[in-house]
Structure 1
Amino acid sequence: MKKITFIVWLLMSCLGWSQVLVINELDCDSPGAENMEFLELLSETPNFPLDGYVVVFFNGSASGNNSSYFTVDLDGYVTDINGLFLIGSNSVSPVPQFLIAENIIQNGPDAVAIYLADDLDFPEETVATIDNLIDVLIYETSDPVDQDFIDIFSQDPRFENIEQINEGPGNNPNSIQRFVDMDDNVFYTSTTPTPRQLNDGSGVVLNGISIAIADTQYNEDDSFEITFTSETPVAENLNFNILLDNFGFDTSDFTGDTAITIPMNENTASTTITLIDDSADEGDEVAKIRFESLPAEYLPLNNNLKIRIVDNDFTTANFGTPVDPTFTMVASTQPSGYYDSLDGLADTDLRQAIQNIIADPNVVRAQTYADVLDILVDADENPLNSNEVWLLYTEQGRPKLDVQTSSDNFEKWNREHTFPRSRGGFFDIEEDEIADGIDIFWTTKADSLRHGNSDAHALRAADATENSTRNNDHYGEYNGPAGNAGSFKGDVARSVLYMEIRYNGLEVVNGFPDITGQLGDLATLLDWHRNDPPDDFEMNRNNIVYNWQKNRNPFIDQPLMVEYIWGNNVGDTWNQPLSVDGNDVSKVSIYPNPTNGRVLVSGAKPSTEFKLYSVEGKLLKRFINVEGSIDLEVASGLYLLQIKTGEQTAVKKIIVD
């Protein structure tokens, strides 16, 4: 890209070194992932304490209203030996003294300012002000001039001639740098970034130290080497310590020397870390290698290197994954009589009665959108590996640690709305960003459409890239990635059908509508529901979500009910005898399941009666006086086998291959 240099002279001699703290350099837009953005402050004297100062970033876009979107409280921080203080992500090199997430700093036209104030004085969406202003930079990325910002900040006599500074067009490689000429006039130049260096090349030249590791993932009981290299040989022995602890990973999880010495006149040293293979199922963990102490003459060129420690003590569930499903292994935890109020009802009365249960404001709870992540790591846990979640569309496990936390979505997982936000009209509020746990919740009702944004019955762990590919497509338009086994189809059908009943204003319809509140295609989803019945994985997640939200997805517990609301039995009176889960009352065992047509029977009395039903509730066959086995003699598909002994009745789902 052609280098763009833009110099603006500000004829304000009072803005020279009469200020104790200024904005020295800004990189608001870097090529690609924009992970190299930073803000650099400069103090008049080195090692200057920053207590009492706050940095505020303002959004000058049409929707930003010249108001704050991010603040950095500088209390407790000090500029370095050159008077510099760098704010940026861990990807910036040298590593900033204050770390923020990648891609936080917005492109222009925006502004950033220093105030003698507290971050609490600038809650989100606070309009820019000159009160207690120390310094300000209005900047752009080849955008129109934001006259509003100029009008606001020029009210301060020190900034009466303030201009908007251009860093360059989008994805430019430059930064905006501040200079002072011989007459104390301040000007800015857009040029090659120089983080943690004085813009004019003066000052103490600091020796950079880098950390290197061979791999980013190891198993328990592995050993690995960490190498430290300085840019130039050290003039005397350089002693420093490193840390590896991070959340649950601590000194009990490894052995090795964390006190490092680079000998005089040399530029490298290393240490070997051995991971301890314990017997505890702690889940996969992340060690974070970082400098604990470096003398002022040295800079960490990189820091906070993450190493994944794969725990070999993961557990497996007693039920299968959606692509290799099991049935009847997981019992519903619905309270006794949970659905009794539905018996004898039909059509709109049945719909309303279901809603009265699953949207009861006296019982049902709404959690925050951040809480959903905690729900999903349990509800969508991979039955084959307790350290992974099971991904909805791509039908595979992925480490729980690989949740998407930045713009990088490669091989990450995130929260997928089966009923898309944009189609449902859902939204969130600032409090939704706080994971406050199972015991803190909102009261919710059928009209609380906002809470559809965080309803875990309709949120699933999904591959972040595939989630983006699906976008807000209707089902039928979107049928999953190429070659999928279709194990997700019944799950998403039941989740979006649940949403129609749970929230007023939502509807699942035929076709592909473009009306907020509507989602298609109903015919496709009914077909998916019938051909991919609820399995143990789905029942387990229904139980877990119920524990948080205190409501259930009735179409998992009572799959035949779908036919009475949308399918072949609309208008018929609903009764639930075929949907009672009798696992806790029946001692009769039916196996194998799935079966090729013959099932073996154990624990049955001579008087036990067996009735085979289709999923639509049609009686197909009846068996009595069963001795050891039953030849079902039906086509491949899902069936319901009712077992009755005396007054006890149980129903088992049977898959015929």
Structure 2
Amino acid sequence: MKKSIGLLLLFAFGPALHAQAPDGYYDNATGTGYTLKTQLHSIIKANHTDRGYDRLKDLYKDNSPINGFRDKYYENDDTVLDIYSENPDGRDPYNYNPNSSLGAGQEGGGFNREHLVPQSFFDEYRTSPMKADAFHVWPTDGKVNGWRSNFAFGNVTNRNAASPCNSGATNMPCKSLNGTTKGKYIYDNSITVVEPIDEFKGDIARAILYFATRYEDLLGDFYSTTRSNSKVMFDGSRNQAISNEFLSQLITWHIQDPVSQRELDINDLVYQYQGNRNPYIDHPEFVEQIWGSHLIANDFDYQTRTDIDVFTTNHQSAVIALKNQSKSIDQVFVYTMNGQMVQKNSYAKGQSKIEIKLPSKGIFIIKVVGKGLEINRKIVIK
């Protein structure tokens, strides 16, 4: 594969693979609430280098072992990891070679660059560096990207009744081949939104919260000039940044779907590439410390799966049992309800049934990953 010299040098002399935030990176993040958010803004803005929109194509296809834009987590086939076609519970409907040219057409006809915060939200003000910011510009199927257009991400009314999208995705609610759904917002029927599959909701939430932090000094200008449908996600302020209902939803997604290995890899990869990090991947607990008043602890609707059982015991532990022998458990992560990881368990040989001891009584989110598997569950230890 032919790479640009710049990327070769970048990865040759960048930090070690799987590097964490360097010592001292968050030393100035000492506040709480919106003071902390502004401190994080200063940190992640300071060394952010805009490498240009076209360079993203090279980033997506780079052979780095921490390239989370390629599938090293589900089929592990190094194809493009597309949030609109990935099927975590079976075979993908189609795959893209990262070396292929960008394109669109019908679903499965080509991939392109998707702005999780659409360009139309900020394009009328200016485009750099947000247009090329790899933390919120991901490779996705071109057709589904077109269906998404510049609508906000949100929970769709009657999602389970969605039929396959027609060519214009006008038959709402409708869904892509992996279940990404377009329809009316569950909290406001006048708003059209797109709901990703559960496995990527937390990833998207943390990317949008990153955007609200990295560009907090520009949000007022974006909001006052834009005519984008995505405007409903924002409130026009520098501090809270996200409108009330969408903020509660993003935080719920953040809690439901804790940080994955894919996100950890992308965080390190993009740090090497453009010089800054997503603080909500490094420190998920920052979300509570900044927007804690919007945290909710109600029951969540998690992925419906028939191939896994998760239940608690009387010994302050949880049992995870797989019914599908083609899958296996490689790692189990335990998170508090504010998103902070408190335990990580790894297994040399994939297991089909394990029991993990929880650190204390309370409410936890567990993330189970392995061969063809990623599932999140809330458990209560009494």
For normalisation by structure 2, the TM-score amounts to 0.56
Contact 1:394–1:481 (CA<8 Å) still a contact in 2? no
Q: Does 1:614 align with 2:336?
A: yes
Q: Does 1:527 align with 2:252?
A: yes
Q: Report the secondary structure of 1:460's partner residue.
A: strand
Whether 1:505 aligns to 2:218 is: yes
Say whether 1:391 aligns with 2:82. Answer: yes
Partner of 2:291: 566
**Residue 116 of structure 2 is aligned to residue 451 of structure 1:** no
User: Partners in 1 of 2:27 and 2:77 — Cα distance?
Assistant: 35
* Corresponding residue for residue 117 of structure 2: 419
Match of 2:59 among 347, 352, 375: 375
Match of 2:37 among 329, 332, 351: 351
Partner of 1:189: none
Greater radius of gyration (CA): 1
Match of 1:404 in 2: 102
TM superposition shift of 1:420? 0.3
- Larger helix share, 1 or 2: 2
Aligned CA distance change for structure 1 residues 421 and 342 (closer, same or farther; 3 Å): same
Whether the 8 Å CA contact 2:45–2:276 is kept in 1: the answer is yes
How many residues end up aligned between the 2 structures?
A: 255
Give the match's secondary structure for 1:555: helix
Listed as ranges, the gaps of 5+ residues in structure 1 are 1-246, 249-329, 428-447, 571-593, 601-611, 621-627, 641-653
Contact residue 563 and residue 616 of structure 1 kept, 8 A: yes
Deviations 1:393-419 (A, max 9, x none): 332543223442476775211110000
Judged with a 3 Å threshold, the aligned counterparts in structure 2 of structure 1 residues 489 and 497 are, in CA distance, closer, same or farther, namely same
Q: Is the 8 A contact 1:419 1:519 kept in 2?
A: no
Whose strand proportion is higher, 1 or 2? 1
Q: Which residue of structure 1 aligns with residue 201 of structure 2?
A: 489
Report SS of the residue matched to 1:339.
coil
Letter in 1 for 2:278: N
Q: Is the 8 A contact 1:332 1:557 kept in 2?
A: no
Distance in 2 of aligned mates of 1:380 and 1:425: 25
Deviation digits for residues 326-371 of structure 1, max 9, x if unmatched?
xxxx95521012112213x1223212210111000xx221111011
Q: Is the 8 A contact 1:424 1:516 kept in 2?
A: no
Name the SS for the 2:54 alignment partner: helix
CA contact (8 A) 1:332 1:539 kept: no
- Write the distance in 1 (CA, Å) between the matches of 2:142 and 2:22: 35
Q: Secondary structure at the match of 1:391?
A: coil
**What do residues 144-179 of structure 1 show as CA deviations (whole Å, max 9, x unaligned)?**
xxxxxxxxxxxxxxxxxxxxxxxxxxxxxxxxxxxx
Sort the Cα spacing of 1:342 and 1:595 in 2 relative to 1 into closer, same or farther, 3 A.
Answer: farther
The equivalences for 1:178-197 within 5 A come to: none
Identity %: 25
Q: 1:495 to 1:513 in 2, by over 3 A?
A: closer
| Kept after mapping to 1: 8 A contact 2:337/2:365 | yes
- Measure how far apart 1:595 and its partner are: 6.3
Corresponding residue of 2:326: none
Give the letter for the 1:547 counterpart. Answer: Q
Is 1:469 the counterpart of 2:147 in the alignment? yes
TM-score by length of 1: 0.34
Q: 1:354–1:501: 8 Å Cα contact kept in structure 2?
A: yes
- Structure 2 regions of 5+ residues with no counterpart? 3-16, 62-66, 87-91, 160-173, 181-196, 224-229, 296-308, 320-333, 343-354, 368-375
1:529 Cα deviation (Å)? 1.0
Q: CA 1:403/1:392 → structure 2, altered by over 3 Å: closer, same or farther?
A: farther
Task: Kindly indicate whether the alpha-carbon contact (under 8 Å) linking 1:415 and 1:461 is maintained by their aligned counterparts in 2.
Answer: yes
* Match of residue 23, structure 2, among 336, 339, 359: 336
Q: Distance in 1 between matches of 2:252 and 2:356?
A: 31
Residue-by-residue CA offset, 1:444-501 (whole Å, 9 max, x unaligned): xxxx862100000001111111100110101116689363541111111111110111
Map 1:612-651; keep pairs closer than 5 Å: 614-616=336-338, 630=357, 638=365
Letter in 1 for 2:84: Y
When residues 355 and 426 of structure 1 are mapped into structure 2, their CA distance, relative to the original with a 3 A threshold, is: farther
Distance 1:371 1:511 in 2: 27
Cα deviation, 1:620-651, whole Å, max 9, x if unaligned, reads 9xxxxxxx9626797985169xxxxxxxxxxx
What is the letter of the counterpart of residue 463 of structure 1?
D
CA distance in 2, matches of 1:477, 1:381: 26
